[in-house]
Amino acid sequence: MPPPNTELDLERIRSEFPALASGFVYLDNAGGSMVLRRVADRVRDYLLSSSVQLGAGYSHSQDASAKVLQARKAVAELINAPFDDEVVMGGSTTALMFQLGHAIAPGIRPGDEIIVTNTDHEANIGAWSRFQQAGAVLRFWNVNPQTLELDLADLQNLLSDRVKWVAMTHASNILGTVNPVVEAAALVHAAGARLCVDAVAYAPHRLVDVVASGADVVVFSFYKVFGPHCAVLWGRRELLLGLASLNHYFISAQTIPYKLQPGNLNYELAFGCIGIGDYLVDVGKGLGAAGSRRRQMQAAFDAFEVHENRLANRLLDYLASKVAVRVIGRRNADDGRRVPTVSFVVEGQQSESIVSHVDQFGIGIRFGDFYAKRLIDSLGLERYGGVVRVSAAHYNTPGEVDQLISHLDEVIV
């Protein structure tokens, strides 16, 4: 069997995302991706045919219950969760992180240490920082300001038997860097601690594999991965079973994921998420991938990576040709260590002025701290008003990047 092709049929890909037909050049994908037609169709179908309470004996309720279980199964498959009941769904990554924090809190003791990074979105810092109220100590694993990398040696120096949790991002939503999660997990576990990984900026660009990641918790949002506004938190079964319940007193602490989903999940949005995996499988099949559905999904992401690296390099090469530009992140996308989220500042210019120039031409990019405020502040980038961020997805075209470059070139000397 020859290996699958890695050349995407962009016309076919783009036809799956109705919003792309408008011609608007959308390069703010790290803010939120376009939504698949098949996801929206499923949400609509659920609302119009299955919107009844779950768990009753009548046939509509049985059908709705089956659909929600099917959704959980599909999400488990998408992330390679060993057990379906490890899949906790909720409104957003931020909300799920606060939920997790509440469930962990009773186990936190004064003097316990938590390590967070200064490259994370605040969603994976704020919930942990609340433990300081219970006497826990928050320690920062800071990015190396020269290389902009999170060095594993620095993590190792912070680890001790007092550390209970380490929280890190799989890919930075500003730097675009893919962090060494597998290696970090090994260090964290050797110290007897747990690892929580924010995969929000990673999941649109690489196939999530919670087992291979080595993490204990992985969380991301579907609205960044071609789906609706809801999110998943995966946790190892024994870990989830040991957490405090967030649900009513009469819901057993053995009932996962329900004990961590107070008020339950959003049924129609969860049902919509089934369309994400199906889309990836279809893309993989179209590329000639054989084998399991996960292998087909992997083939899709392999092709996304090849295409996205081309898009990122096109922009990065242009930015490298401009003396006033400083790219905040890795300078090329050839080694698998970067997603196509490219941030930069221009000496002598406010980031806002560049973005508002580009706005006029029907091109969506943005500027700011993107809630990774600690990173922006620690790198002294607030004086530019934050970074200009261009974030591509697999459905963007080289022509779109060229359009952006031509308008950037009108304002960058």
Ligand X SMILES: Cc1ncc(COP(=O)(O)O)c(C=O)c1O
Binding site for ligand X (CB under 6 A): 92-94, 121, 123, 169, 173, 198, 200-201, 221, 231
Q: Which is nearer to ligand X, 208 or 283 (CB)?
A: 208
Strands 25-26 and 363-364 come out as parallel
How far is Cα 22 from Cα 41, in angstroms, rounded to an integer?
A: 19
Give ∠ CA 42-170-139 in degrees, rounded to 5: 130
Q: Which is nearer to ligand X, 50 or 266 (CB)?
A: 266
Q: Which is nearer to ligand X, 121 or 164 (CB)?
A: 121
How far is Cα 271 from Cα 45, in angstroms, rounded to an integer?
A: 9
Q: Which is nearer to ligand X, 42 or 389 (CB)?
A: 389
3-state secondary structure of 356: helix
Minimal distance, residue 198 CB to ligand X, in Å: 5
Minimal distance, residue 49 CB to ligand X, in Å: 28
Q: Which is nearer to ligand X, 93 or 296 (CB)?
A: 93
Residues written for the chain = 413
How far is Cα 41 from Cα 51, in angstroms, rounded to an integer?
A: 15
What are the residues whose beta carbons fall under 8 Å from the beta carbon of 3, sequence distance 6 or more? none
Q: Which is nearer to ligand X, 79 or 159 (CB)?
A: 79
Minimal distance, residue 173 CB to ligand X, in Å: 4
Q: What residues pair up with 167 in beta bridges, in sequence order?
A: 196
Q: Which among 259, 264, 199, 262 is positioned nearest to 233, based on CA atoms?
A: 199
Minimal distance, residue 174 CB to ligand X, in Å: 9
How far is Cα 231 from Cα 223, in angstroms, rounded to an integer?
A: 8
How far is Cα 107 from Cα 127, in angstroms, rounded to an integer?
A: 15
Minimal distance, residue 117 CB to ligand X, in Å: 11
How far is Cα 108 from Cα 34, in angstroms, rounded to an integer?
A: 39
Minimal distance, residue 162 CB to ligand X, in Å: 26
Minimal distance, residue 285 CB to ligand X, in Å: 30
- Look up residue 105 and give its DSSP letter: G
Report the run of H or E that residue 343 belongs to, with start and end.
strand 341-346
How far is Cα 150 from Cα 163, in angstroms, rounded to an integer?
A: 18
Q: Which is nearer to ligand X, 93 or 351 (CB)?
A: 93
Quote the strand ranges of 69-173, DSSP E: 87-90, 113-117, 137-141, 163-169
The answer to whether 338 and 329 have CB atoms below 8 angstroms apart is yes
Q: Which is nearer to ligand X, 42 or 121 (CB)?
A: 121
Minimal distance, residue 36 CB to ligand X, in Å: 18
Helices assigned H by DSSP within 292-392: 293-320, 351-359, 373-378
Q: Which is nearer to ligand X, 8 or 379 (CB)?
A: 379
Q: Which is nearer to ligand X, 318 or 367 (CB)?
A: 367
Minimal distance, residue 92 CB to ligand X, in Å: 3
Read off the tokens for 27: 């390069």
Minimal distance, residue 342 CB to ligand X, in Å: 14
How far is Cα 313 from Cα 228, in angstroms, rounded to an integer?
A: 29
3-state secondary structure of 7: coil
